[in-house]
Amino acid sequence: MATIQEKISALVPEATFSESGQLYVTVPDAQWHKLAKALHDDKESPYDYLIAIVGADWGETLGCVYYLESTSTAQRLAVIVQTADREKPMLHSVCDLWQSANLYEREVYDFYGIVFINHPDMRRLFLRKDWVGYPLRKDYNADPALNPIRLENEESYDTSYSVVEKEDGTLEEQRPVIFTPEQYVVNIGPQHPATHGVLRLRTSLDGEIVTKIDPYCGYIHRGIEKLCESLTYPQTLHFTDRLDYLSAMQNRHALCLCIEDALQIEVPERVKYIRTIMDELMRISSHLLFWATFCMDLGGTTAFFYGFRDREMILDILEETTGARMSFNYNTIGGVMADLHPDFQRKVKEFCRYMPGSLKEYHELFTGNVIAQQRMKGVGVVSREKAISHALTGPSGRASGWACDVRKRMPYGVYDKVEFNEVLRTEGDVFARYMVRLDEILESIKIIEQLIDNIPEGDYALKMKPIIKLPEGRYFRQVEASRGAFGVYIESRGEKYPYRLKFNTPGLMLVGSLDELTRGGKIADLIAIGGSLDYVVPDIDR
């Protein structure tokens, strides 16, 4: 069996390799699509999961880092591709191989202006069409006069822009049609209670049947990644709590892990225990909120009150220790902000005893309901292959039978010391996604019960210098957030500020799959499907 280096070298002799935590391959753009196809179709370990595309501005050139993973062998590979110049940056698209690339490439286009050849839909994703400049480029002009607050309504365009490479190698600009004038297009959002935030979906309908959905993101795009580039590492931490505020602990855990990895420090055992327990508490609270809002979307208002009632118990526990109900700011580099409250263990144990009974109540109240079952079963089915292609991680991926749990694949914290099942289902419909979440609550309780009595004594934080400089290099770290794999990419040039910091969030991919999941279904199913994917919009938009 040839190693992956040999395979790549045989195919692309120009490829250069480097090692920084994992294997990085640099290939020229002209060979990139060929290599991508070979990697994707590889017989021994097909790289079928595109984790992230990180756009970057490297001064002379722009480019992307592609993180790939093979779901069968768990091998990872990162590919670096650079553009020829800054004036007219172009790269070849890989969205024909991985469907997740569709929105990732649009994001890179939006932030860096890199046009992806053969991408069918090169529109801006987060910013308005009339936005001047590409904000994440290092030479971006942030003059507010260029981009004043525009109060006139944004126009929605029915055609897109794309650059297609013809057989003889010449490029041709095209205007693909998104919606034809005959199509009946309804606008759902951005202010709509069932979109779970400010997501806008242009939906074309044929009677009651959804024929196409065109998601518009960016209604809460806060430019966090750009802000991070001018903040020191400890200062960047607080943004993670405000990305996906329902997995605040996990997100912050990811960034802390990534920085600790880079510094090569080992946190005390106590910190690992505390972080793991906090992550699981956060996951339970997020799934409870999912249950509450999802049932409300389907018309079960009572569920809303039940879900919030139990969620408040977790918030009380977290508040005692962290001092906040939502933006906890708890994890820090090398530890946590404060030690556990003396009542913490007692209250958590109380909650662990209480919750399973509550879950039973949930099942009696909603899961078994005939109307609910009919609205959930067989709706919005996504197969395992599609889930991988769309990079649907988290409960949504596991409902399709993809064992994508980062806690199992690459254990962090103390997940390697606890026993828990990765909840898997194979139906891939709304009901499966719903059940996976509820069953995960039980698994989380199981994890907490194993840990809560065994928290070792010791320091709750390492003493860190106020200014932290990461050694030069690229770092990528993932954790399992409530909604899926949450990744952090840091590119450091040895300074106290990150050169590039990217949050690879699960939410964007959930939205990317929405079109395919809802196509052919009823418009009411759109609400059920959207609810079951459980995206959080600031997580999508960042």
Partner 1 sequence: MEVKIKSMKYEDFKDNEYLENLVAELNAAGTNVVVGCFDDLINWGRSNSLWPLTFATSCCGIEFMALGAARYDMARFGFEVARASPRQADFIMVAGTIVHRMAPVLKRLYDQLAEPKYVVATGGCAISGGPFRNSYHVLKGVGEILPVDVYIPGCPPRPEAMFYGLMQLQRKVKVEKFFGGVNRKQKRQEFFEGK
128 binds partner 1 (CB under 8 A): yes
Is the Cβ of residue 326 or residue 403 nearer to partner 1 in the bound state?
A: 326
Out of 193, 323, 456, 520, the only residue in the binding site for partner 1 (CB under 8 A) is 193
Out of 289, 336, 392, 461, the only residue in the binding site for partner 1 (CB under 8 A) is 289
Out of 9, 61, 147, 156, the only residue in the binding site for partner 1 (CB under 8 A) is 147
Q: Read off the amino acid at residue 371.
A: I
| CA pair distance 102, 81, nearest whole angstrom | 17
Residue 76 dihedral angles phi and psi, to the nearest 5°: -120, 150
120 by Cβ neighbours in 10 Å (0-12 / 13-18 / 19+) ranks as middle
Cβ atoms of 125 and 217 within 8 Å: the answer is yes
Is the Cβ of residue 310 or residue 427 nearer to partner 1 in the bound state?
A: 310
Positions 212 through 251 that interact with partner 1 (CB under 8 A): 218-224, 226-227, 230, 238-239, 242, 245-246
450 by Cβ neighbours in 10 Å (0-12 / 13-18 / 19+) ranks as middle
Span near partner 1 by CB under 8 A; candidates 125-133, 170-178, 364-372, 480-488: 125-133
305 binds partner 1 (CB under 8 A): yes
Sign of CA dihedral 393, 397, 399, 403: negative
The one-character DSSP state at 299 is: T
370 binds partner 1 (CB under 8 A): no
The one-character DSSP state at 367 is: I
384 binds partner 1 (CB under 8 A): no
Is the Cβ of residue 327 or residue 369 nearer to partner 1 in the bound state?
A: 327
Out of 176, 190, 378, 401, the only residue in the binding site for partner 1 (CB under 8 A) is 190
Out of 58, 140, 161, 497, the only residue in the binding site for partner 1 (CB under 8 A) is 140
Out of 34, 88, 138, 150, the only residue in the binding site for partner 1 (CB under 8 A) is 150
Is the Cβ of residue 81 or residue 526 nearer to partner 1 in the bound state?
A: 526
497 binds partner 1 (CB under 8 A): no
26's tokens? 């640099």
Which residues lie across from 143 on neighbouring strands?
none
Is the Cβ of residue 255 or residue 455 nearer to partner 1 in the bound state?
A: 255
Strands (E), 271-406: 331-332, 335-336
Span near partner 1 by CB under 8 A; candidates 32-40, 139-147, 377-385, 445-453: 139-147
347 binds partner 1 (CB under 8 A): no
Q: Read off the amino acid at residue 11.
A: L
Radius of gyration of the chain (CA): 23
- The CA-atom distances, in angstroms, between 173 and each of 96, 105, 115 are 18, 17, 11
Is the Cβ of residue 66 or residue 112 nearer to partner 1 in the bound state?
A: 112
214's tokens? 């065109």
Positions 522 through 541 that interact with partner 1 (CB under 8 A): 537-538
51-66 burial: b if 16+ Cβ within 10 Å, else e = bbbbbbbeeeebbbbb
Out of 37, 192, 347, 386, the only residue in the binding site for partner 1 (CB under 8 A) is 192
- 536 closest CA partner among 316, 294, 255: 294
Size of the site for partner 1 (CB under 8 A): 49
Interface contacts to partner 1, rule CB under 8 A: 126-128, 131, 135, 140, 142, 147, 149-154, 190-193, 197-198, 218-224, 226-227, 230, 238-239, 242, 245-246, 289, 292-293, 304-305, 308-309, 311-312, 325-327, 537-538
